[in-house]
């Protein structure tokens, strides 16, 4: 069986959707700016001991020591598998192609 998604597609989904925007606007995770840093409620431990690195587009919880990319975050927050999470992110990145755009 061939790959469902190319490495290039996955790279684009992990890096083209700003993770702080995904967290706050798409997934509806409680978030705030604290000491000049974007923080969000960790979906695993429910603490605000988190941060986002805009340079790498990764997020981290310092309490439970987990790192998240956009795909990981969707899998956890929407309780979906990898394929469903990737398809969800594709609808955000390409709304016109998925039929969800204007």
Q: How confident is the model at residue 3, as a pLDDT?
A: 80
46 within domain boundaries: yes
Q: Is residue 68 part of a domain?
A: yes
Could you report the per-residue pLDDT of 5-55, keeping only the tens digit for each? 999 999 999 999 999 999 999 999 999 999 889 999 999 999 999 999 999
Q: What is the CATH number of the domain that holds 68?
A: 3.90.580.10
Q: Is residue 24 part of a domain?
A: yes
**Residue with structure tokens 């989904």?**
13
Q: How much is the mean pLDDT over the chain?
A: 92
Count of the separate structural domains present in the chain: 1
The token pair at 11 is: 């790279």
The pLDDT tens digits for 48-98 are 999 999 999 999 999 999 999 999 999 999 999 999 999 999 999 987 555
Residue 42 located in a structural domain? yes
Contacts of 96 (CB under 8 A, 6+ apart): none
Q: What is the pLDDT of residue 101?
A: 45
């Amino acid at each position: 069986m061939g790959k469902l998604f190319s490495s290039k597609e996955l790279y684009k989904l992990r890096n083209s959707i700003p993770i702080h925007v995904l967290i706050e606007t798409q997934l509806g995770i409680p978030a705030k700016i604290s000491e000049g840093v974007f923080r969000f409620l960790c979906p695993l431990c429910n603490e605000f001991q988190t941060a986002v690195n805009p340079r790498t587009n990764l997020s981290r919880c310092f309490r439970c020591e987990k790192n998240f990319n956009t795909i990981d975050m969707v899998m956890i927050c929407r309780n979906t598998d990898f394929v469903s999470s990737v398809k969800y992110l594709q609808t955000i990145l390409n709304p016109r192609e998925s039929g969800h755009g204007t």
